Amino acid sequence: MEKIVSLCKRRGFVFQASEIYGGIGNTYDYGPLGVELLRRVKDSWWSAMVREREDVVGLDSAIIQNPKTWITSGHVGGFSDPMVDCKKCKSRFRADKLEDARCPEKPSKRPGACEGELTEPRAFNLMFETNVGPVKDSSSIAYLRPETAQGIFLNFKNVLESSRLKPPFGIAQIGKSFRNEITPGNFVFRTREFEQAEMEFFVPPGTEQHWFDYKDELAHYSNFTSDIEYEYPFGWGELEGVASRTDFDLKRHSEASGVDLVYFDPQTKEHFTPFVIEPAGGVNRIALTLLIDAYEEEQLADDVRVVLRLHPAVAPITVGVLPLVKKEGMPEKAKEIGAKLRRAGLTTYYDEKAAIGRRYRRMDEAGTPYCITIDGQTFEDDTVTVRERDSMAQSRVAVKDLVEHLAAATQAWRRMR
């Protein structure tokens, strides 16, 4: 993890938030490469989940909703992790994750393995509170959403009526969620502010069962749940949760608001509250997983190269544009070719500083799948060198064929996916 964290800072993927003020606990900002990675993760998710399907539509609901939302959903009462405190080091740990936890003391121990006594587990509410309007009293309390899903349930009727879809259909949303996590950590794996990508799939009751055969870690609204986990350097962790949320949320919101959230099927003349299947992933965790998965220290004949083998669909930069030397018209030619590539929709990065080998390595670390080099020969036959990140193979390609060549190479990757 230390290597990933250091690469993220060095190359501008992730910075500590408020760094000049000493930071703010477990909060991160995404730099020029990080924001591109996040956007590509979200674009890929949105394409697969919404645009490539005819039975799923999108939504972008507000972060602060009427506070009754969270009372009805059960989050005000039940959205809490049981926590224990170590009386010696004063650290707080999730009571259900003691096996995986380590205390901040040096040497770090499992909670309870030092002389410190652990308190009884206590509930800790994870929602951030704020006040809406000029007066700060109990009537103005509102919450920052801890999941994007509730905004979808609140809009179930609006979407149903405006889109004329009928169950089974889904509503997807990507957006920030906030949880006052008491044990954040492992870099961007668990933070207090994060982005979720969730889809609520509304199905006729009784048809949801075949989605799952495994039941574990049930949330308070769920009758079966399964997690998709990844083995991080710090152990297994959830990447995406897939839950069958039953008709709990729609029923509760119907009761509490007095607005009927029942679906009427005009064909069968049946009234029913749909059941909900929910895949809920974390955008930041997916980005972290991609970085960890892509990171490699490759042993070469005379040294070690750090390379991020990111798929071109998520790589922040697609093509590095490099003049061999900073003279003889090469920078101008390189900029001209770079502009042509950008007009064709490719993301480019221009670099003329340092020896060409060093520049290739910088692009390898940034996960850039291709580099093109403009050299003396370019002025003779209008070709450039295309260097491929993974194999480091180089070939000469005519400038006029460049867009097609890079598109074909990227397509080859897509087929691999």
Binding region for ligand ATP (CB under 6 A): 147, 179, 181, 190-191, 194, 196, 238-241, 280-282, 284-285
C-beta of 225 vs 373, nearer to ligand ATP: 225
**Per this entry, what is the length of the chain?**
417
CB of 84 to ligand ATP, least distance (A): 16
CB of 250 to ligand ATP, least distance (A): 18
C-beta of 11 vs 179, nearer to ligand ATP: 179
CB of 351 to ligand ATP, least distance (A): 33
Contacts of 349 (CB under 8 A, 6+ apart): 317, 319, 320, 321, 363, 366, 368
C-beta of 222 vs 368, nearer to ligand ATP: 222
CB of 276 to ligand ATP, least distance (A): 14
Determine if residue 23 is left, alpha or beta; phi over 0 gives left, psi from -120 to 50 gives alpha, anything else beta: left
Residue 235's DSSP bridge partners are: 232
C-beta of 80 vs 155, nearer to ligand ATP: 80
CA distance linking residue 323 with residue 334, whole number of Å: 6
Whose CA is closest to 94, among 82, 106, 102? 82
CB of 184 to ligand ATP, least distance (A): 6
CB of 31 to ligand ATP, least distance (A): 18
**Cα maximum dimension of the chain:** 78
Query: Nearest residue by C-beta to ligand ATP?
Result: 282
Q: Give the single-character DSSP code of 121.
A: P
CB of 239 to ligand ATP, least distance (A): 6
CA distance linking residue 69 with residue 72, whole number of Å: 5
Phi, psi of 379 (to 5 degrees): -80, -15
Write down the residue that tokens 């029913």 correspond to: 272
CB of 281 to ligand ATP, least distance (A): 5
Tell me the three state secondary structure of residue 415: helix
C-beta of 285 vs 359, nearer to ligand ATP: 285
CA separation, residue 395 to residues 298, 310, 388, 408 (Å) = 22, 21, 9, 14
C-beta of 16 vs 347, nearer to ligand ATP: 16
C-beta of 156 vs 187, nearer to ligand ATP: 187
Whose CA is closest to 316, among 372, 392, 388, 368? 368
C-beta of 252 vs 405, nearer to ligand ATP: 252
225 touches 255 (CB < 8 A): no
DSSP letter string, 4-28 = HHHHHHHHTSEEETTGGGT--TT-E
